[in-house]
Each structure stands twice: as C-alpha cells, then as structure tokens.
C-alpha cells in the first residue's frame, strides 16, 4: 500500500462565525462539521439580489458568513412550522459569476455546495476575501445532513420564490461532513484530482476514431472541463 492510500480523513468541528485562524488551519480534504447558522441560496436568491437589485429584508451579514448552495426537502407542517428531514447541495459552478460581489458585500467566509468552482474564481474572489469552499460529500447524503439540521430560524422570499428557491436560514449542529475543496490559499482539491486522473483517462481514447459528424464548438480535449 502506498503512503497516499494509507491517508485518513481528518475531522474538524467549527463554530460559526469562523475566525481567520480556523480557516487557515484547514487542509484540502479535511472533513468539516459546522455549528451555528447556515443560510441557503441558489438561482432565485442570486437573481433577486443581482439581476433585480432587491436586497433581502434582513441583514444577511449578521447571519455568520456561511452560505449553502442548496434547497431542502421541506414541508410546512403548520403555518410557520417546517419539517426539514433532508438537505443536499446543488452544483455551484452556475453561481460563480455572482461570487466576487456576493462574498465581499455580505462578508461570506464559507461557501458550501456541490462540485466546487473553477480555480480562477478561487484565486480572484475567494482567497482575497478570506473565503473557503466546502463541498458536500458524494452529493446525496441527504439523510446524514438532515440529522444536522436543528430547525428553520427564518425563511426569506418563500412566497416569491417557492420552497425550492427560497432563502432558508437553518440552525445546525455538527452539520457535515463537508470536505475542504478550496482552502485559505485558494488551492483546489478537485483540480488536483483531475490532474492525477487525466494521464490514465486519456490513454483509454487510444485507438478510438474521431466521430464522423462533429458538433459546433467541439474543439476541446477530454482533459478539459466543460464549464
């Protein structure tokens, strides 16, 4: 067994809001568990803030600086009372264009999501702002993450955006695990994984012909990403 194969995953428990020292201590691939408040946001929330220039009716700078690209499986059991058994992330790359202004304006220190973002966003927007990116694990751990939700503290824009797109402010306890995908230096775990896999992966194409009919824009190689 190689050294790398012997590696184990270090677990880290953090209270929100986090300090810069907390974030500096994290290494790529650490498993992080969070305690405090996490607020969700996806297409609807970003569209209202950045396309329609509508500020949320509460000051989200006061929420502790951890946001989650997610919408929960949720029901309203009686008016204002919610059942949130399961939460999972949605793919983050679609929100990359909003990140530079979003992170700065609202003092965001932790972005949680699915699959991370491109390295240049980390270098341009995350690192200068002291923000890290945590990726959910496997992406379908809804039940495990659901166990970390204590309850709904508030919900913003529920009528305007519907349950799936509203901003849910969640109270969480030992909420995780999330893997450190972008650390305080702006390095990326996925970038390293891609680099490690590419050599082996490209070999599988040896001997396979180019296809007869090309598609417009088909100029990239299989070792590049599609977003």
Partner 1 sequence: MIKSETILKTARELNIKAAIEGPKDVRQKVANMEKEETHHLSKYVLGKILENYDAAIKDRRPMCADTGLPRYYAKVGNHASIEGGMVTLEKLLRQATAETTASIPLRPNRVHPFSRKDYNNNVGIHAPTVDYSFEPDADWLDITVVHKGGLFGGDYRMLFPADGIPGLKRFYLDSLAEYFRRGMSCQPAVIGVGVGGTKDVCVRLSKEAACLRVVGDRNPDPEIAKLEEELIELGNQSGFGPMGFPGNSAVLDVHIEVAYAHTGGMPVGIQHFCYAQRRMSARISSNDKVEYREDPMWFTPYYRRDTIE
Residues in the site for partner 1, rule: CB under 8 A?
A: 1, 4-9, 29, 31, 43-44, 70-75, 83, 85-88, 90-91, 114-116, 135, 137-147, 161-165, 177, 179, 190, 193-194, 196-197, 200-201, 204-205, 207-213, 215, 222-223, 225-226
Q: Least distance in Å: CB of 19 to partner 1?
A: 27
Number of H helices, E strands in the chain: 9, 9
Backbone angles phi, psi at 200, to 5 degrees: -65, -45
Which residue number, 53 or 227, has a Cβ lying nearer to partner 1?
Answer: 227
Q: Least distance in Å: CB of 108 to partner 1?
A: 21
Question: What value does the CA radius of gyration of the chain take, rounded to a whole number of Å?
Answer: 19
Which residue number, 8 or 53, has a Cβ lying nearer to partner 1?
Answer: 8
Question: CA 197 → CA 102, 131, 203, 223, distances in Å?
Answer: 33, 27, 11, 9
Whether residue 125 contacts residue 103, with contact meaning beta carbons closer than 8 Å, is answered with: yes
Which residue number, 90 or 131, has a Cβ lying nearer to partner 1?
Answer: 90
Q: Least distance in Å: CB of 21 to partner 1?
A: 26
Q: Least distance in Å: CB of 149 to partner 1?
A: 10
Whether residue 69 contacts residue 95, with contact meaning beta carbons closer than 8 Å, is answered with: yes
Which residue number, 44 or 130, has a Cβ lying nearer to partner 1?
Answer: 44
Whether residue 156 contacts residue 169, with contact meaning beta carbons closer than 8 Å, is answered with: yes
Which has the closest alpha carbon to 135: 193, 222, 75, 84? 193
Whether residue 23 contacts residue 115, with contact meaning beta carbons closer than 8 Å, is answered with: no
Which residue number, 97 or 107, has a Cβ lying nearer to partner 1?
Answer: 97
Q: Least distance in Å: CB of 47 to partner 1?
A: 9
Which residue number, 9 or 58, has a Cβ lying nearer to partner 1?
Answer: 9
Q: Least distance in Å: CB of 219 to partner 1?
A: 13
């Amino acid at each position: 067994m190689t050294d790398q194969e012997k590696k184990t995953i270090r677990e880290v428990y953090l209270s929100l809001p986090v300090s810069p020292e907390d974030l500096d201590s994290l290494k790529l691939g650490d498993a992080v568990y969070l305690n405090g408040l996490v607020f969700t946001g996806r297409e609807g929330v970003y569209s209202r803030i950045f396309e329609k220039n509508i500020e949320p009716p509460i000051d989200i700078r006061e929420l502790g600086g951890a946001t989650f690209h997610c919408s929960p499986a949720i029901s309203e059991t009686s008016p204002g009372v919610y059942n949130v058994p399961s939460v999972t992330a949605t793919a983050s790359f679609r929100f990359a264009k909003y990140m530079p202004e979003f992170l700065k304006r609202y003092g965001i220190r932790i972005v949680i999501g699915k699959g991370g973002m491109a390295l240049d966003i980390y270098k341009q927007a995350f690192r200068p702002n002291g923000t890290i990116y945590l990726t959910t694990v496997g992406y379908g751990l809804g039940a495990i993450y659901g166990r970390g939700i204590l309850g709904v503290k508030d919900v913003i824009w529920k009528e305007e955006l519907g349950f799936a797109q509203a901003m849910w402010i969640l109270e969480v306890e030992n909420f995780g695990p999330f893997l450190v995908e972008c650390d305080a230096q702006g390095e990326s775990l996925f970038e390293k994984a891609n680099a490690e896999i590419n050599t082996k992966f490209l070999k599988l194409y040896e001997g396979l012909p180019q296809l007869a009919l090309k598609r417009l824009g088909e100029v990239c190689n299989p070792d590049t990403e599609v977003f």
